[in-house]
Amino acid sequence: MRSKLSKLVATGFYTEALSLFSNLHFQSHPLNEFTFPFLLKVCSKLKLVPHGQMLHAHLTKTGFNSDIYTATSLTSMYMKFELLASALKVFDEMSEPNTTLINVLVSGFSQNGCYDKSLDVFRRVSEYGLRPDSATIASLLSGCNNVVKYGLRVHCWAIKIGVEADVYVATSLVTMYSNCKDPVTASIVFERICDKNVACYNAFVTGLLQNRIHQPILEVFKEMLRCSSQNPNTGTFVTVLSACSDLKNLKFGRQVHGLLLKLNSLLDVLVGTAILDMYSKCGYWHWAYGIFNELGGFRSLITWNSMISGMMTNAA
């Protein structure tokens, strides 16, 4: 049963997974602790609150609610439902939680805007003899709400437990400092990352764009092409092209467009609109119109608005 359920959930057949469980349960098919995490994930994906609560009741009746993996999935489900009290109750009923369960709780509270509660859970880690990891710190950083004093506190904890250099944590620090309008510290953290990946490059250039620091974005992009083993993705190209638009740097923008052609990247609506906008703002509306036609039926409202705005600006 576990194998069938996992395949259905992995391939997105959520309703079919619930039907399979219902049929097997009706036939008194034996269940185990590995059955329920898949079903709880289905409830989360489909936002089936009553189904999730019924599964919780069944877990309590059968005693599977004490299984750490099931409890973790149950906590995650309630967090996605924004039923925070229910999630906390599941956690409190666990006599021996693990770091993964704590991370789910910290992340859930942070994502739901309850930063004080995520800090309270974090402070309880030592009570269970557990050690927070990079995921714990990154989850705390995501909930700092652009308040630099909170971010500094979490940064100190990251240094204390030795995860500051972890690329996941460092990327979250870059984002946090950028959002707090401290691009200098974000730059320092970024430069200390040894094995930079696409995510951390994107976090840094996005932060620079947010803080209206455009020219360094082009230099960072060139560094990425030289040093990273990973190709830029949609987010990278959109940010770099936006910087070219603001700088009215047609030459660099054309080079980015040429790189996209070299990589045989089909223009998606986001990148295509960014190229269109760059050409329009650089005064070459006819090139922008060529991209507009190339996008065909994939145009969004933003694409149309950008093309219309570009033609009006260039006609003035």
What string of pLDDT tens digits covers the 316 residues of the chain? 557 777 888 888 888 888 888 776 666 666 666 788 888 999 999 999 999 999 999 889 888 888 999 999 999 999 999 999 999 999 999 988 999 999 999 999 998 989 889 988 888 888 888 888 999 999 999 888 777 888 999 999 999 999 998 999 999 999 999 999 999 999 999 999 988 999 999 999 999 999 999 999 999 999 999 998 888 999 999 999 999 999 999 999 999 999 999 887 767 899 999 999 999 999 999 999 999 999 988 899 999 999 999 898 887 5
DSSP of 266-296: PP-HHHHHHHHHHHHHTT-HHHHHHHHHHHG
Question: What's the rounded Cα separation, in Å, for the pair 314 and 159?
Answer: 52
Q: What is the pLDDT of residue 316?
A: 57
List Cβ neighbours of 235 (8 Å cut-off, separation of 6 or more): 202, 206
- Specify burial of residue 57 (Cβ count, 10 A radius: 0-12, 13-18, 19+): exposed
Its pTM stands at 0.84
Q: What is the pLDDT of residue 5?
A: 74
Q: What are the helix (H) ranges across the chain?
A: 2-10, 14-26, 36-46, 49-62, 68-81, 84-92, 99-111, 115-123, 134-142, 148-161, 167-179, 183-192, 198-210, 215-227, 234-247, 250-262, 269-281, 285-295, 301-315
